[in-house]
Amino acid sequence: MRFRSATALVLFVGAATLLLAGSTATAYPEPSLIGRAWQLSFRYSKPRVITIRGLDNRQRWYWYMSYTVINNSNAEQFFVPEVTVATDRGDMITAGSGVLGGAFSAIKKEIGDPLLENPAQVSGRILIGKDHAKASVVIWPAFSKDIDQLTLFVAGLSGEKQAISHPLTGEEIVLRKSLMLSFDTPGTPHSPQQHQVKLRSKQWVMR
């Protein structure tokens, strides 16, 4: 899916796509300062680029970000990651969409971690403690445009939710606490491997 205007992208990145456009009187929900819900520890690498040749012999570029998630809560949890990627040029995609079947194997080989789990199979129970940590990777196709910033929204790391009413329709919307990671990625679409990735900001949001 692609945004049709820069305004729409700003609303999305601000995690207010549906609500703020219709109401200035209602404050947008923020995560609780006192964590009452469970939350998983999330360690991640900077996004990197890899090239993979498909069965049609065409070369394709992909971004990937490896991560480790640890359950330091007081109970077993069910981990279901969902990552949305947005760019400063108006692109938005759900990680995993449009990815070749052999992409994970190539990335796993490049990383060199035999315990790395396939993102299509990583969802499931996560027991307490670092000995039961899950390691996987987020993968998405490289964008054709010249991008200078990537923003990732990582959902599934917390049990915190808030139900609110849409200011225009009154429909109930359930927001989830998500980790928002913004990276500067100066470079060109012709040589995506030359992108110099730098973390711009990291914060928890409701979306």
> What are 39-96's pLDDT values in tens digits?
999 999 999 999 998 778 888 999 999 999 999 999 999 999 999 999 998 899 999 9
Cα–Cα distance measured from residue 195 to residue 84, given in angstroms and rounded to the nearest whole number:
20
For residue 30, the SS3 value is coil
Q: Write the pLDDT tens digit of every residue in 144-203.
A: 778 889 999 999 999 999 998 888 888 999 999 999 999 998 866 566 666 689 999 999
DSSP state of 131: G
> Which H or E run contains 168?
none
Cα–Cα distance measured from residue 141 to residue 97, given in angstroms and rounded to the nearest whole number:
8
> In this predicted model, which residue has the larger pLDDT, 148 or 7?
148
